[in-house]
Amino acid sequence: MYAPKICILVMFQKEVTNWLSETSPLQFIHRITLPGLSRGYETVYLTENKEVCLLVTGTALINAALSVSTLTTTPSFNFTKTYFLLSGIAGVNPKLGTIGSVALAKYAVQVDTQLEFDGREIPADWSTGYVPMGAERHSEFPRYVHGSEVYSLNGNLRDVCVGFAKGARLEDCERARGHRVLYGGAAKGVYGKAVLEPSVMKGDVASSNTFWHGKLLCEGMERVFETYTGGKAVYTMTAQEDTAILTALLRSAIQGKNDFERIVLMRSGSNFDRGWREEDKASLPYVIDEGGLEPALRNLYLAGLEVVRGILGSWERFEDGVKAEGYVGDLFGSLGGEVDFLPEGAVV
């Protein structure tokens, strides 16, 4: 039976390339084929000493959830003391960060389980066509929840891993620098942090199967964070698979197969989630990569590698876990404890 100390979860091929390169200090020489994983990603990778394993989950929420469920329930693995590192690229909020930066999250918020009305058909006083399920106002907590809307992770572990990740020498490229400069021209300097060099920071993640772009949609998603968590979660990165993976890990934790307090969620900004001008309009073909993809992929790996080194290098500190302060889990309290992020008056 394999009992890795760390399990790295990436989402697609470009995110795994650096980990599997010949120059990486982690050499994944063992390969295990596991039926039930996403098509094209049927392999679980292990280092020579089997302390670190690596899985490509496949993109989209359903693929990621089922791949992780397949992994955690296979009898060949024991994940009870394993730290899971969720590692992927994302969109970044230019008010809080820039392309190439790496954010480690305490909260993951699923923003696409809402009512949606076409933006061309909404009342003039609506700021967005997205409304929480069953709510009478955009700012009202949903009356109907699915359970995957919010996950709260171990903030103490996140803080320790931020310290590790800051030991990485982040990289950049000229194209990314040129694109950042544009955001310095935004009105009132609102995107001042977008023009800075890449860095490691704390920031939470939006999860959705829908890729969105634009100031109005992003402001609507910021409101979802405020509404769902009473302002505790900070809308920093936009991604896809995280709440799905966390759902799979929560359910396997309920079965005693892994420890939900041993999860690190890391995303790097490959694109801005909105343009820099107020008057920006959508056009096709839409260009996602304006130079941020290359440094985002590289920095995701470099920061993640420092987290892996930090945990393995101090295993006597991590073997018994990092004690969390506050609640860890979903909005139902499925793992026990008192949910501490719901806004006043919210009923689940």
The tens place of each residue's pLDDT in the chain, 348 residues long, gives: 999 999 999 999 999 999 999 999 999 999 999 999 999 999 999 999 999 999 999 999 999 999 999 999 999 999 999 999 999 999 999 999 999 999 999 999 999 999 999 989 999 999 899 999 999 999 999 999 999 999 999 999 999 999 999 999 999 999 999 999 999 988 888 999 999 999 999 999 999 999 999 999 999 999 999 999 999 999 999 999 999 999 999 999 999 999 999 999 999 999 999 999 887 888 889 889 999 999 999 999 999 999 999 999 999 999 999 999 999 999 999 999 999 999 988 889
Q: Do 72 and 246 meet the contact criterion of CB atoms below 8 Å apart?
A: no
Q: Using alpha carbons only, give the angle 302, 303, 306 rounded to the nearest 5 degrees.
A: 90
Per-residue pLDDT at 281: 83
**pLDDT score at 188:** 83
The 3-state secondary structure of 126-150, one letter per residue: CCCCEEECCCCCCCCCCCCCCCCCE
Q: What pLDDT is recorded for position 283?
A: 85
Alpha helices per DSSP H over the chain: 13-16, 61-73, 155-165, 174-183, 215-229, 242-254, 293-313, 315-318
6-330 under CATH 3.40.50.1580, yes or no: yes
**pTM, whole model, 2 decimals?**
0.96
Q: CB within 8 A of 287, min separation 6: which ones?
A: none
Centre a 10 Å sphere on the Cβ of residue 59 and count the other Cβ atoms it contains.
18
Separation CA 12–CA 270 (nearest Å): 14
- Identify the pLDDT of residue 186: 87
